[in-house]
Amino acid sequence: MSQPSAAKRPPFDPGDPLGLDDLLAPEDLAVRDTVRAWSADRVLPEIADWYERGELPSVRELARELGGLGALGMHLEGYGCAGASAVQYGLACLEFEAADSGIRSLVSVQGSLAMYAIHRFGSEEQKQRWLPPMASGETIGCFGLTEPDHGSDPAGMRTRARRDGGDWVLDGRKMWITNGSVAGVAVVWAATEDGVRGFLVPAGTPGFSAPEIKHKWSLRASVTSELVLDGVRLPADAVLPQARGLGGPLSCLNQARYGIVWGAMGAARACFEAALDYSREREQFGRPIGGFQLTQAKLADMAVELHKGILLAHHLGRRMDAGTLRPEQVSFGKLNNVREAIEICRTARTVLGANGISLEYPVMRHATNLESVLTYEGTVEMHQLVLGKALTGLDAFR
C-alpha cells in the first residue's frame, strides 16, 4: 500500500484528531453547525445560572425555538417532522449535550420517547392531533414508564388501566418523569388485562397531576416530575392501538438510548476542551501545566476515549440509518459512551484543580449531569446484563 505524501495529508486537528469529519456529508455538517450555533447563543450564556437556580425557566420558549430549528422528532417522517437521518439526529444530540444534558433530555424525551411512541404506535387521528404541535414545540410531551417501586424492572409496574364501559380508567404513579409538569400530553404505560398498553393523557384531565421533583443535584436545568393518576378517565381512543406488551415502551427506549450514545460524547467534549484550554493557560512550577507529562497523559487518554466514542456513535448511526441496528448494539454504545464520558469529565475536573468544582467552568455541571445519564434509559448494570445475555444466551436479570 503506497503511503500518501506528507503534502497530501491534512494537518493534525486537536478538535478532530482522527479526521472523523471526513465521515460527514455537507448536510450533516450543516445540522451540526446550526445546533452548535443555537446552543452557543441560547444555552451557554445562561446555563450556569439556570443550573444554580435548579430551573429551566424558559422551557416553553426553548421548546418553540427547538421546534423552529427542526430538532423535535427530527428523525421522524411527516407530520411536521424534519425527516433527518439518524446520524444527523445523533450529531444534534451531541451538540445539545455539549451545552447541557438537560437540553438534550428535553429534545430526547420529546422526539425519541413521546413523539416516537405516537408515530410508531398511534392511530392516524392521534398522529394528526399530536405530532404537528409537538414538532413545532407548541406542545411538550413526556413519557411515563418508571414508577416509585419499579425502575429497572418495568415489567412489575403497578399502574393499572381498566375498561369501564367504552372508557379507560387509570390509577397509579410514575416517578422521575422528564418534562412531566410542563407537558401538554403524557404518554403513560399501564398494565391492562391484555398486558402493558400505552395511553395519551392530556394535561388537565381530571385526576391527573404532575408535581415537580425538587432537590436534585444532577440534571438541575431540566424539569423532572412525578405523575399522579387517580381514577383518570380517558376515552377509548386514548390508547395507542399498535403497542402491545413491554416491547412497546422498550422500542421507544432504543431510540432515546441511541441519542444518548452521541449526547454523552458532547458532555465529554465540553469537559475535554475546558481541560485542554486550561492546561495551556494555567502555570505552576513556572510553566503551563499542559507541559507536564502527567497532564499530557490525561489529555491523550481523554482524547482517545472521546473520539473512539464518537466513532462508535457514528457506526451505530449508520446501522440505524440502514435499519440494521440491534437493541444489544444500542446497549453496547450507551454502556460504553456514558461510562467513558463520566471518566473524561472526572479527569478533566482534576486538570482544573479547585476551579474544576466551580460553576464558572462547565466540568462539574457535566459530571453531575452524567450521573443521571448513567442511570436513566437503563442503568450501567442493565446494559451489562443485556450484553451478558446476548453473549452467553443466559438471562441473569432474575
Question: Catalytic residue positions?
Answer: 377
Where do contacts with ligand FAD occur on this chain (CB under 6 A)?
Answer: 109, 143-146, 151-152, 176-178, 219, 224, 372, 375-376, 379, 381-382, 397
In whole angstroms, how close is the CB of 57 to ligand FAD at the nearest point?
18
Identify which range of 62-70, 117-125, 274-282, 373-381 contacts ligand TGC by CB under 6 A: 373-381
Choice from 43, 109, 186, 264 touching ligand TGC (CB under 6 A)? 109
Report yes or no: 211 and 148 within 8 Å, Cβ to Cβ.
no
Least gap, CB of 391 to ligand TGC (angstroms): 14
Provide the minimum distance between the beta carbon of 101 and ligand TGC in the complex, in angstroms, as a whole number.
Answer: 8
Task: Compare residues 28 and 97 and give the one whose CB is closer to ligand TGC.
Answer: 97
Beta bridge partners of 173: 228
Contact pattern from residue 314 through residue 353 relative to ligand TGC, giving x for each residue in contact according to CB under 6 A and a dash for the rest:
-------------x--------------------------
DSSP run (H or E) holding 42: helix 26-42
Q: Residue 247 corresponds to which amino acid?
A: G
Q: Name the minimum Å distance from CB 31 to ligand FAD.
A: 25
The one of ligand FAD, ligand TGC, none whose footprint includes residue 144, by CB under 5 to 8 A per kind, is ligand FAD
Distance CA 347, CA 334 (A): 20
Our CB check for ligand FAD shows the closer of 95 and 226 to be: 226
Say which amino acid occupies 7.
A
Cell of 128: 394528526
Q: E strand or H helix at 225, and its extent?
A: strand 224-234
Q: Look at residue 96 and give the partner it binds from ligand FAD, ligand TGC, none, a contact being a CB closer than 5 to 8 Å depending on partner kind.
A: none
Identify which of 105, 92, 97 has the alpha carbon closest to the alpha carbon of residue 29.
Answer: 92
Beta bridge partner(s), residue 239: 199
Give CA angle at 197 (193, 199), nearest 5°. Answer: 125
DSSP one-letter code for 236? G
- In whole angstroms, give the CA distance from residue 18 to residue 318: 18
Cβ at position 264, least distance to ligand FAD in Å: 14
Question: Cα–Cα distance between 328 and 324 in angstroms, integer?
Answer: 12
User: Are 107 and 71 a contacting pair, CB within 8 Å?
Assistant: yes
By a kind-dependent CB cut-off of 5 to 8 A, residue 253 interacts, out of ligand TGC, ligand FAD, none, with ligand TGC
**Looking up cell 473512539, which residue turns up?**
308
C-alpha to C-alpha distance for 38 and 280, rounded to whole angstroms? 27
Closer Cβ to ligand TGC, 254 or 336, answer by number: 254
For helices 363-375 and 327-351, angle between their N-to-C axes, nearest 10 degrees = 150
Segment contacting ligand TGC by CB under 6 A, of 45-53, 119-127, 209-217, 377-385: 377-385
Q: How far apart are the first and last CA of the chain?
A: 52
Please pick, from the candidates 83, 148, 211, 245, the single residue that binds ligand TGC as defined by CB under 6 A: 245
377 binds ligand TGC (CB under 6 A): yes
The least distance separating ligand FAD from the CB of residue 144, rounded to whole angstroms, comes to 6
Number of amino acids touching ligand TGC (CB under 6 A): 25
| Cα–Cα distance measured from residue 107 to residue 192, given in angstroms and rounded to the nearest whole number | 30
Which residues bind to ligand TGC, rule: CB under 6 A? Answer: 105, 108-109, 143, 145-146, 152, 154-155, 178, 245-247, 250-251, 253-254, 256, 327, 376-378, 382, 386, 397
